[in-house]
Chain A
Amino acid sequence: MAQTLTINGKARSVDVDDDTPLLWVLRDVLGMTGTKFGCGLALCGACTIHVDGKPVRSCITPVSAAAGKRITTIEAIAATPAGKKIQQAWIDLEVPQCGYCQSGQIMSATALLAAKPNPTDSDIDAAMSGNVCRCGTYVRIRAGIKHAAKKGT
């Protein structure tokens, strides 16, 4: 049935089954391809978005569960202070390689930084271990989060 979603501050209406994962609504129905498909089982974090500011895996989040909530994707994360800092840190430290997982990494890192402006190594482990990077950019992701944190709020 038709669902009304609030994505990056805009109301969007889609007509899909209630159990359709949000990932496919974003990518295929609305053409917002910045959010990536990696596993379909919430094992890799490539599809991470924010729902009411919290990181969620859109590949297992049914569209019905997101109705009425604030959905934020990589396309609009620069509008948040933490998101902007994380993106800049990723550029400053040259974090991405193939880049495919980085939308999800940035969404997870942004949520971490927004919640904990000065994350410890174990905070980073806890927040980021759900995001797989096959290029192994972990060393730079960790450094990137610390770099962003140093810039303060």
Chain B
Amino acid sequence: MIVDLSRRQFLSASAALGGGLLIGFRTGAAHTAEGVAGAAFTPNAFIRIGSDGQIVLTMPYVEMGQGTYTSIPMLIAEELEVDLKQVRLEHAPPDEKRYANPLLGVQATGNSNAIRGSWKPLREAGATARTMLVSAAAKRWNVDPASCRAQSGEVHHAPTGRRLKYGALAAEATQLPVPENVALKRPGEFKLIGTPAKRLDTPSKVNGTAVYGIDARPPGVKIATLAQTPVFGGRVKSVDDSKAKAVKAVRQIVRLDDAVAVVADHMGAAKKGLAALVIEWDDGPHAKLDTQQIVDQLEKASLNSGAVAQNVGNTDSAMASAVTKVEATYQVPFLAHATMEPMNCTAHVRKDGCEIWVGNQALGRAQAAAAKTTGLPLDKVVVHNHLIGGGFGRRLEIDGVTRAVQIAMQVDGPVKVVWTREEDIQHDMYRPCFFDRMSAGLDEKGAPLAWNHRFAGSSIIARWLPPAFNNGLDPDTTEGAIELVYALPNMHVEYLRVEPPGVPTAFWRSVGPSHNVFVVESFMDELAAAAKQDPVAYRRALLDKSPRAKAVLELAAEKADWGKRLPRGVGRGVSVQHAFATYMAQVAEVEVAKDGAVRVRRVVCAVDCGTVVNPNTVQAQLQSGIIFGITAALRGEITLKDGRVEQSNFHDYQMLRMNEAPAIEVYIVKSGEAPGGMGEAGTSAAAPALTNAIFAATGKRIRKLPVANQAAVT
């Protein structure tokens, strides 16, 4: 998603409870410029320095593996002149105004933009606090602040050797005016930023003490599991719970309009009780739905004109003069998130209030969902956020919170609603399927004269952030299809919003680019093949105006031994991408067996994500994103038959495993540009590198994901 970072920001200081120093900062919401109603100048994070010297950072972004609980504190610690070990973190409470993501305008962790949004304001917050603490020390000592310096949570006065800890200065610092325009360090002065900082959450994640939402245990908590209508839009017709009630430790059966839950002392009993229920469903209007109907609907829709996402020049006239024409259609499937931590939420509903324990990427929405479901005012809903055992977009949704609250409203005391893996996969909100029509015209040298791309599918933004959906377009669904790195003299991209009946759709790691980059980079490979040119050389020739893209392509090709001979059945494929403000090239090396089994042997990734905050995290996120992308490309597919999702657990919605994991090499280009996003970019670039490698190995062009057994020799 392309967003505008130029926002006014200001800092304010006020006395924190307990006499500490509190620096709040406010930023405008990104969507104000695009006409989205957003609360401008609302705080979205704060630092608290207690008189005990404890430095607390309230984290507006949630930790779901991406390392934000280390990289965000690094920004503050750098300017505040504290060691990372001195920083304590707290989850931000739900507050759409104070903790809005500056690039989304809502309190959410997503779109790979925590560092992008925080890069300047959080360093300013740190620098402002440091300046005030130095001033407080200078005032006490009656010396020139310029003769003092901050270091490791202390202010030093070198000429006299005096020093004071921040905690001892906090109360005095609150009395000082907030300085404006504090100078930020130059990159050459960074001590922390750019160094491989150790993750702050690792120790708790190796000894079982890390607490995820599913681990919440408020006193007296009961455990529930549930069966939701197997067909989206269906309802419960009847329930025979006599056998379920007889199961030891089962306490209660809760019937909702479209789900039934079994409440028990432990999940073992709840599951046993659930299995003993006899539920008759009214399947509703989608009882006969199957995936092919949805694909057919998209294919048909794609014959019509859509909203123009980007137009350059005139592709019609350019096409007329083309020497060679290339056409193709592409498809990508529905995908589930399958986070390792199954969906869950603990809720305690009382007459006068509601308490929620959950790991969620959009906490303000979680609170609002509980308020709406219970009818309680927002301020009567307390939400405790937790570490997230895999988000990938799934936990930007609040359906699980609503469910838990619906159940809790019928239960006396707190109840933890844990979805089975089967419920988690069959009642996900899915990465949409898309149907794409591509056509291009090449000149006599094979260079693209015209590029047409039209695609149909769901817009998640239209549901999730309606004000950002305008004139049939949104910035997510089209990312990766428009504003390409390549110099294309004539280009025309259209999008048709078509919502699948009876299938909820949601953001999925790498969002719009997860679909578009596969299509664009596959088709670019087709053009290179049509022009009988090397895929790297072909792309390179189109990158003169995009030096950062060109540099990552060249680096990836060099490191991957591009051009060196490979054995029969082995091939290399390349992809280039600019998404989430990060430039990336990947080269995948795959081996294809005669039966079509694809083994990814090696992936080389070159990345220019601007200024790197934590190179260790960049490496980790790319390793992670690439595996995620390969997993989906090879096998990921959710299908429906008779309105029901056919997959149910890891045997039929398969994950890449240790024995299949490729070697992954990551090369980071040194850059002084503003930071780009890292959580998702690796995923979208992986699929086309892989399928282009299959083409190189076998001559088979994969135009429909997943690969499954399409590479088999027929």
Interface residues, chain A, with chain B CB atoms under 8 Å away: 16-17, 19-21, 23-25, 27-29, 31-41, 43-44, 46, 73-75, 77-78, 87, 90-91, 94-103, 106, 124-126, 128-142
Contacts and interface: CB of A to CB of B under 8 A. Distances in A.
Given A17-B272, A38-B340, A132 B207 contact: no
B208 A33 contact: yes
Nearest to A107: B208
A44 B387 contact: no
Contacts of A135: 65, 340, 390, 624, 627-628
A139 B661 CA distance: 7
B649 A27 contact: no
- Chain B CB count within 10 A is highest, among A16, A94, A128, for A94
Contacts of B355: none
A17 B248 contact: yes
A40 B421 contact: yes
Interface string B252-286: 00000000000001111101100000000000000
A101 B198 CA distance: 20
Nearest to B660: A129
Interface string B214-231: 110100000100000000
Contact of B620 (A17, A25, A94): A94
A38 B253 CA distance: 24
Contacts, number: 201
Contact of B268 (A21, A43, A106, A142): A21
A33 B342 contact: no
24 contacts: A16-B266, A16-B268, A17-B249, A20-B269, A28-B265, A28-B267, A37-B267, A41-B421, A41-B649, A41-B651, A75-B209, A97-B65, A99-B202, A100-B341, A102-B206, A103-B208, A132-B657, A134-B338, A134-B340, A135-B390, A136-B631, A136-B656, A137-B624, A140-B623
B651 A43 contact: yes
B268 A133 contact: no
Interface string B653-685: 001111111011000000000000000000000
B340 A91 contact: no
Contacts of A35: 208
A36 B651 contact: no
Contacts of A19: 272
B340 A94 contact: no
Contacts of B624: 97, 135-137
B650 A43 contact: yes
A61 to B, nearest CB: 11
A37 B388 CA distance: 14
Contacts of B151: none
A31 B203 CA distance: 20
A97 B67 contact: yes
B219 to A, nearest CB: 11
B396 interface: no
Given A33-B211, A34-B207, A135-B65, A100 B389 contact: yes
Nearest to B626: A136
A32, A33, A78 — which one has the most chain B CB atoms within 10 A of its CB? A33
B341 A36 contact: yes
Contacts of B647: none
Contacts of B651: 41, 43
A17 to B, nearest CB: 5
A31 B390 contact: no
A10 to B, nearest CB: 16
B452 interface: no
A19 B661 CA distance: 35
Interface string B521-541: 000000000000000000000
Interface string B167-207: 00000000000000000000000000000001101111111
B658 A131 contact: yes
B258 to A, nearest CB: 23
Interface of B: 64-67, 198-199, 201-212, 214-215, 217, 223, 247-249, 265-269, 271-272, 338-342, 387-392, 418, 420-421, 616, 620, 623-628, 631, 649-651, 655-661, 663-664
A114 to B, nearest CB: 17
A153 B420 CA distance: 40
B202 A96 contact: yes
B342 A37 contact: yes
B198 A94 contact: yes
A41 to B, nearest CB: 6
Nearest to B201: A99
Contact of B206 (A17, A87, A138): A87
Most buried by B among A24, A95, A136, A138: A136
Contact of A98 (B268, B388, B657): B388
Contacts of A136: 623-628, 631, 656, 661
A115 B119 CA distance: 47
Contact of B661 (A78, A102, A138): A138
Label chain A's interface by main secondary structure. Answer: loop
B713 to A, nearest CB: 26
Question: Most chain-B Cβ atoms within 10 A of its Cβ — which of A31, A33, A135?
Answer: A135
A130 B265 CA distance: 29
Contacts of B65: 96-99, 135
A99 B205 contact: yes
B217 A99 contact: no
A97 B249 CA distance: 35
A70 to B, nearest CB: 18
Given A97-B66, A97-B624, A136-B623, 20 more contacts: A17-B268, A17-B272, A19-B272, A31-B217, A33-B214, A35-B208, A38-B421, A40-B271, A75-B209, A94-B616, A96-B65, A97-B65, A98-B389, A100-B212, A102-B205, A103-B208, A130-B657, A132-B340, A132-B657, A139-B663
Contacts of B655: 44, 132, 134
A74 B205 CA distance: 10
B206 A39 contact: no
B340 A78 contact: no
Contacts of B205: 90, 96, 99, 102
B650 A90 contact: no
- Of A38, A73, A101, the most chain B CB neighbours within 10 A belong to A38
A25 B206 contact: no
B268 A91 contact: no
Contacts of A87: 206-207
A99 B207 contact: no
Contacts of A20: 266, 268-269, 272
B210 A99 contact: yes
A29 B67 contact: no
A24 B267 contact: yes
Instruction: Identify the interface centre among B205, B208, B659: most chain A CB within 10 Å of its CB.
Output: B208
A101 B655 CA distance: 13
Contacts of A46: 340
Contacts of B202: 90-91, 94-96, 99
Contact of A75 (B208, B339, B657, B664): B208
Q: Would you list the 3 A-B pairs with minimal beta carbon distance, nearest first?
A: A34-B208, A136-B627, A100-B389
Residue among B201, B215, B271, B661 having the largest count of chain A Cβ atoms under 10 Å: B661
A129 B661 CA distance: 10
B421 A39 contact: yes
B471 to A, nearest CB: 36
Contact of A34 (B209, B223, B418): B209
A96 B655 CA distance: 18
A38 B268 contact: no
Residue with the greatest number of chain A CB neighbours at <10 A, chosen from B206, B223, B268: B206
Contact of A36 (B198, B217, B340): B340
Contacts of B649: 39-41, 43
